[in-house]
Amino acid sequence: MRQGLGRPVVMTCRVLRAHPSRVLRFEWLLSNRLLHAGAFDAQKDETEYTIRSLNRDGWGEYTCNVINEAGAGKCTFQVTGKAFAPEFYYDTYSPLWQNRPRIYGFKLQWTQMNPNAVDRIVAYRLGIKQMGLQRWWEHEIPVDGAINKGELMTHNLTELIKPESFEVRLCPITRFGEGDSTIRIITYSAPVNPHLREFHCSFEEEPICMFTQDKNDDFDWTRHSAATRDTKYTPNTGPSGDRSDSKQGFYMYIETSRPRKEGEQARLVSPFFNVAPKNPYGITNPPAYCFSFFYHMYGKHIGTLNAFLKQKGQTTSEGPVWLLTGNQGDRWNQAKVSIHPTSSFQVVLEGVRGPGIEGDIAIDDVTLEEGECRDPPPNLSAEAPSTSSHIWLLCITLVMTLLEGQR
């Protein structure tokens, strides 16, 4: 839970089910300090704790313990004043330019996730270092006025040495201090076709090209290499190396061993890609992009792998642009699909757990390239299994702000 100074925060913990059914009492704690305790009455199935005006002493981990004869269940709330991480725009139109024969520049663009969730962002701390070196160079980018949701911010990086790559770190700053930071890699390339732009991710670096785990799915994708992954527990499933058959190379996969259940979903979400109009008056004909990746679907309990196109501002969920179900053998295969976004967009890879533990699905070498796909592989699609879930204890978070015009 992120909130600015002086604003109220209401936290509610509701009991959905208890065995034995008699609920005795509740406790609210900040770290290990008891804030409030009491007993439930016959008509009440929830307890509430309110911070009337958040200050620096109020940031931290709040725990609600609901206790009956069998023991305690708990909800945990992490209350902080840290700003959300910024989100880099990839596929920036003509991001590279040449200053001098040995120097190049890069137009860095980003938006701020939920800029009004906390206090106003007054600056960004920009860090940059050459890949393979240890030293970071840092300076602050001041921000004049409030940042609007979805507002595109730009900063030009200069004096980058050809053909070196650079790691860039961007961190918002408020009265609270530093927020969550975002890292991306800037790579120099001299394209034969200056209009061709390409994104490629092989998951070799820990930031995984700014892919993120969907917070509303059932479990997460896992980054591993064959050298680090323990395959003794679930033999006869999963890859023995990355797409290039390297034991040291990394890939992403879903682990379907217990406690995973049939139908549970794990979604991996790409960064935003900006659709550049071909003319200054906007997009008349949506540009085409070729979205491709390698997949490994080996095991008798393989579920479904889905690929979705998620456009900014889209409220309804559309069907997958690509999907495949079932055992495809112990080998890597390539998927290709042409997409035609009309606004900035993300691509989502969703793994659905099959009926048993021999159902690990892996992906590697995700690429997005301008233009229609050439000779796409066949899509042997099938229906995805249904999903199910069981919930025992529900944490309800109600965050109210005093900023004018916000609800």
Please say whether the dihedral angle defined by the alpha carbons of residues 123, 93, 294 and 188, taken in this order, is positive or negative. negative
pLDDT at 370: 84
CATH topology of domain 201-370: Jelly Rolls (2.60.120)
pLDDT at 147: 94
How is 226-241 classified by DSSP, letter by letter? TTT---SSS-S-S-SS
86-190 and 201-370: same fold?
no
CATH assignment of 86-190, given 1.10.268.10, 3.20.20.70, 2.60.40.10, 2.10.10.90? 2.60.40.10
CATH topology of domain 9-81+392-399: Immunoglobulin-like (2.60.40)
pLDDT at 242: 87
Q: Tell me if residue 267 falls in helix, strand or coil.
A: strand
* Residue ranges for the chain with pLDDT beneath 70: 42, 90-100, 189-197, 227-234, 276-284, 315-317, 376-407
pLDDT at 168: 95
| Mean pLDDT score of the chain | 82
- Give the Å distances, CA to CA, from 144 to 121, 148, 298, 337, 401: 9, 12, 53, 42, 22
- The widest CA-to-CA distance across the chain, in whole angstroms, is 78
pLDDT at 205: 75
Please give the Cα distance from 303 to 360 (Å, whole number): 9
pLDDT at 183: 93
Q: Each residue of 177-207: b (16+ CB within 10 Å) or e? A: eebeebbbebeeeeeeeeeebebebbbbeee
pLDDT at 384: 35
Q: Which residues contact 336 (CB under 8 A, 6 or more apart)?
A: 290, 291, 292, 373, 375, 376, 377
pLDDT at 378: 57
Q: Tell me if residue 57 falls in helix, strand or coil.
A: helix
Q: Collect contacts of 243-249 with beta carbons under 8 A, ≥24 apart.
A: 243/202, 243/294, 243/296, 243/332, 243/364, 243/365, 249/202, 249/204, 249/225, 249/364
Domain segments of the chain: what residues? 9-81+392-399, 86-190, 201-370
pLDDT at 297: 94
How is 152-181 classified by DSSP, letter by letter? -EEEEEEEEETT--EEEEEEEEETTEE---
